[in-house]
Amino acid sequence: MIDLPKSRIRAARTLGLALAAVGLGLATPAGAQTAFPQEGAERVSVTIGYADLNTGDPAGVAALLGRIKSAAAFACGGRPDVRQIDQQTAFHQCVDTAIRQAVAQANLPQLTAIADPGPRRPHVAG
């Protein structure tokens, strides 16, 4: 389990984001990393503090969503190389799942309202 440094968690309001994410080197070529869950992949947990945010204010809710998105990208192993299309797709699926889980766990209607931008359109390089 991976946690952000305890110094970043200074208050009682925290949000744990847990998901099957990165198994560094598990079932991948030597030295490769993967951004998607695999058989035997470790679960990654990231704690997100938000006691310093006013979640009754749209700016505070937007800041919390930004923290959730950053934590999700971290937990999913970071953005893979753009040439790895299959890993890009899996990374985005992992991040989307992590964000949905964290938003549901936060249980803040105003966060839920801004967190779902609708279905992701595939990006085709041109």
Neighbouring CB atoms inside 10 A of 2's CB total 13
CA separation for the pair 14, 60 (Å, rounded): 14
CA separation for the pair 63, 58 (Å, rounded): 9
Residue ranges of the domains in the chain? 6-115
Tell me how far the alpha carbon of residue 16 is from its chain's centroid.
11
* DSSP 8-state code for residue 120: P
**SS3 at position 16:** strand
Nearest to 3 by CA among 48, 35, 38: 48
User: Does 22 score more than 80 pLDDT?
Assistant: no
What is the percentage of the chain residues whose pLDDT exceeds 90? 24
Structure confidence by residue, pLDDT tens digits, 51-108: 899 999 999 999 999 999 999 999 888 888 888 788 888 889 888 988 998 999 888 9
